[in-house]
Structure 1
């Protein structure tokens, strides 16, 4: 029996599906550090009106503890940046008291083409190296855009899980956690996301809890279900009830955190209309008030 056959069998085994692994092992209780996802400044960054160093400066000015510096904003992405830039940013962040909590790539492991997936795996590995050089603890990844036509969710998992496992093993070797951001794409629910984490079955693979991408049912129930598997967040301005967008209830999120327990960063991502700095600052104040 080859590896693919073994995995296919495990996908259909009730005992395997009910496995209890995958939860993040941490001390009980709550310790929250406010962070920022650089995507909040996507427009000025992509337009060349802002640099990754400028994002660090904003965090320092606003007393934000950490920043998730998405890979897209390094010149030449998806190629890895030169060490000179990596170490310059690392030094700049350190001297300004800002932790670079991670970086991220736009990968797609739902691709049906094996050679295409191999390239996507290499993309993640390349940026695991970047994260390690930055002194970051995480690289953020996606599952894929959608279930390809002519395939089922479970069929895609047969090649997606080994891809994640290979990336997680590379992360382990480099001291970098591979963080899976469910994005209302291939992964739409907490249960689907948890299933992937359990199948990957690695201490170096966990969830980035994206509050704005849980659009099937009650988003707060989904958040609570996912939190034990999360080692990072994306706190956004809105949650969704199906197609209905609703302003996030931050005190309710804080109550869930206190109930379940969480220690670490809670990066915010604000994309409202207007000047990005003003939009982010306004949302930051709301988060601080609710999470204090």
Structure 2
């Protein structure tokens, strides 16, 4: 039976309490040690940053890993749509490539769409998501970005962006219908996530993930430690900081947007020192993965982005 979030955290608290009691007895005769300053967040880069869905610009994952290491990133997040092969031998080669380069494979970014009244379409997306969980497991990746999908009433992504991510519902259906489809679908993915040890991170993306309230409604309904939040800094197009903070307690992975050269679809002037501070207040120590989404050449923009994120998310001062 899948473990609920409440059960998971209760068990963790009991184990932590027992460990703390043992440690306290062992340390009674020792002098107290002043805690060291925080280490800061490890900075990753999404392979999407090298591609950005630009025509004739799709780099192989191997090249992205090499470039990430050369530039000084700690880890690489893989965009599933960018993978040229999902054969087992290729997955092992990617793991080896990361090892040789001294970087971690920290995240798998996937797409799925559960906002459909058609059970067959939802099942197809459930199967796809469960297959992606297995891919993450094979790659040794601990977390996977998921989303709700969109209503599909926009002509294309450009039209969706022109409308600031807002699109009409399918005629004859409500948000409540959509939330039921999404929640029922994710419930069918939780057993695979728990079995593989891959934490799903629901992104504040489009569709029902457009608002923090929508993301939290789904996470709370599922009530499992294996569905948390992937926090995207660039997907709240107005007044982002309060909205980002609403999701911070549930966040297990951060995708950080930059827009050097002007955004492909839009640009935001994000205060990363402020974002780092709010995440730190909520105890977030995990990966911050760059999603460069500007028009400048990646060869110059990605190193600039790394410098920006290192400065904001670097070691805390004593």
Change (3 A) 1:277 1:126: same
Equivalent-residue separation in structure 1 for 2:7 and 2:293 (angstroms): 35
Question: SS of the counterpart of 1:151?
Answer: coil
Deviation of 1:203 after TM superposition, in Å, equals 0.7
Equivalent-residue separation in structure 1 for 2:6 and 2:211 (angstroms): 18
- Provide the residue aligned with 2:240 in structure 1: 219
Question: SS of the counterpart of 1:234?
Answer: strand
2:282 aligned with 1:277, yes or no? Answer: no
* Aligned with 2:65 (options 56, 61, 66): 56
- The question of whether the paired residues in 2 share the 8 Å contact of 1:142 and 1:183 is answered with yes
Change (3 A) 1:46 1:102: farther
Deviation of 1:145 after TM superposition, in Å, equals 0.7
Equivalent-residue separation in structure 2 for 1:192 and 1:89 (angstroms): 35
Equivalent-residue separation in structure 2 for 1:179 and 1:110 (angstroms): 18
Question: SS of the counterpart of 2:229?
Answer: strand
* Aligned with 2:44 (options 11, 14, 35): 35
* Aligned with 1:197 (options 219, 222, 237): 219
Deviation of 1:169 after TM superposition, in Å, equals 1.6
CA distances 1:117-154 after superposition (whole Å, capped 9, x unpaired): 10000000111111000000112111011343221111
2:195 aligned with 1:186, yes or no? Answer: no
State the aligned residue count: 263
Equivalent-residue separation in structure 2 for 1:279 and 1:156 (angstroms): 38
Deviation of 1:286 after TM superposition, in Å, equals 1.1
Change (3 A) 1:198 1:51: same
2:153 aligned with 1:153, yes or no? Answer: no
TM-score, normalised to structure 1, is 0.83
Question: SS of the counterpart of 2:234?
Answer: helix
- Provide the residue aligned with 1:111 in structure 2: 116
RMSD: 2.6
Deviation of 1:197 after TM superposition, in Å, equals 0.5
Change (3 A) 1:67 1:46: farther
The structure with the largest strand share of the pair is: 1
TM-score, normalised to structure 2, is 0.76
- The question of whether the paired residues in 1 share the 8 Å contact of 2:50 and 2:58 is answered with no
- Provide the residue aligned with 2:101 in structure 1: 96
5+ long unaligned stretches in structure 2: 17-37, 152-168, 260-264
Equivalent-residue separation in structure 2 for 1:101 and 1:189 (angstroms): 25
* Aligned with 2:249 (options 224, 228, 245): 228
Equivalent-residue separation in structure 1 for 2:280 and 2:45 (angstroms): 21
Change (3 A) 1:116 1:248: same
2:216 aligned with 1:207, yes or no? Answer: no
